[in-house]
């Protein structure tokens, strides 16, 4: 019911940090602007995210961090040992079970965040993800990463 309060407080604190002042006037001005911005932005988000199992977000963050580090090292290795014959880029098509728009947005951010992978498209009628991979060795490996490491956890968090 009062989900807008934390965002208003956060924006007010950000205002005070950026203005480099904790005067009453700056507090009232920042609080007023923050309140108006939050209320006006509510119309832009008709569906709000309601994560079911918040503690699983920490596990997801750990997986993303580890996979991003691995991906960084793999891309660095490709760049330093640049030979066109060594790698084969391509597309992988993965059917998704996720239907929650917030979970899909999280998955898109996770995939795009890791170097060497790009979320190319998602078909709206049958939810098939088209993923471009810089060094595509086996499609089943990427299928397993997306379905088992990320999608199952996102389904538990959001659905």
The answer to whether residues 144 and 93 belong to one domain is yes
Q: Is the pLDDT of residue 87 over 80?
A: no
E runs forming strands in 26-141: 90-95, 117-122, 128-133
Instruction: Give φ, ψ of 146 to 5 degrees.
Output: -70, -50
The answer to whether residues 17 and 67 belong to one domain is no
2 falls in which pLDDT band (50, 70, 90)?
Answer: low
**Residue 89: beta bridge partners?**
none
Residue 87 maps to a domain = yes
Task: Please give the pLDDT value at position 47.
Answer: 73
The answer to whether residues 22 and 83 belong to one domain is no
The answer to whether residues 88 and 126 belong to one domain is yes
Give me 7's structure tokens. 């965002």
The answer to whether residues 27 and 92 belong to one domain is no
Q: Which domain holds residue 70?
A: 54-158
84 falls in which pLDDT band (50, 70, 90)?
Answer: low
Number of domains, the chain: 2
The answer to whether residues 84 and 134 belong to one domain is yes
Q: Is the pLDDT of residue 133 over 80?
A: yes
Task: Please give the pLDDT value at position 4.
Answer: 76
Residue 48 maps to a domain = no
134 falls in which pLDDT band (50, 70, 90)?
Answer: confident
Residue 19 maps to a domain = yes
Residue 49 maps to a domain = no
The answer to whether residues 100 and 144 belong to one domain is yes
Q: 88: helix, coil or strand?
A: coil
- Dmax over Cα atoms in the chain, in whole Å? 65
**Average pLDDT value over all residues in the chain:** 87
Task: Please give the pLDDT value at position 80.
Answer: 85
35 falls in which pLDDT band (50, 70, 90)?
Answer: very high
Task: Please give the pLDDT value at position 46.
Answer: 64
* H or E, element range at 45: none
**Residue 92: beta bridge partners?**
131
Q: What is the pLDDT of residues 91-132, one digit of tens each?
A: 999 999 998 888 999 999 999 988 889 999 999 899 999 999
What distance lies between CA 117 and its chain's CA centroid?
14
The answer to whether residues 61 and 135 belong to one domain is yes
Q: 58 to each of 63, 71, 119, 134, how far by Cα in Å?
A: 9, 20, 23, 28
């Amino acid at each position: 019911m009062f989900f807008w309060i934390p965002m208003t407080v956060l924006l007010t604190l950000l205002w005070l940090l950026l203005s480099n002042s904790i005067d009453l006037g700056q507090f009232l001005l920042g609080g007023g602007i923050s309140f108006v911005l939050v209320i006006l932005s509510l119309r832009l988000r008709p569906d709000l995210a309601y994560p079911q199992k918040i503690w699983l977000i920490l596990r997801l963050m750990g997986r993303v961090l580890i996979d991003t580090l691995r991906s960084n090292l793999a891309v660095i290795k490709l760049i330093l040992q640049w030979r066109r014959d060594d790698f084969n880029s391509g597309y992988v098509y993965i059917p998704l079970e996720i239907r929650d728009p917030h979970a899909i947005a999280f998955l898109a951010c996770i995939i795009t965040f890791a170097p060497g992978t790009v979320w190319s498209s998602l078909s709206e009628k049958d939810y098939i993800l088209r993923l471009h991979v810089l060094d595509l060795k086996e499609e089943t490996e990427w299928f397993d990463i997306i379905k088992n490491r990320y999608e199952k956890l996102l389904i538990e968090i959001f659905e």
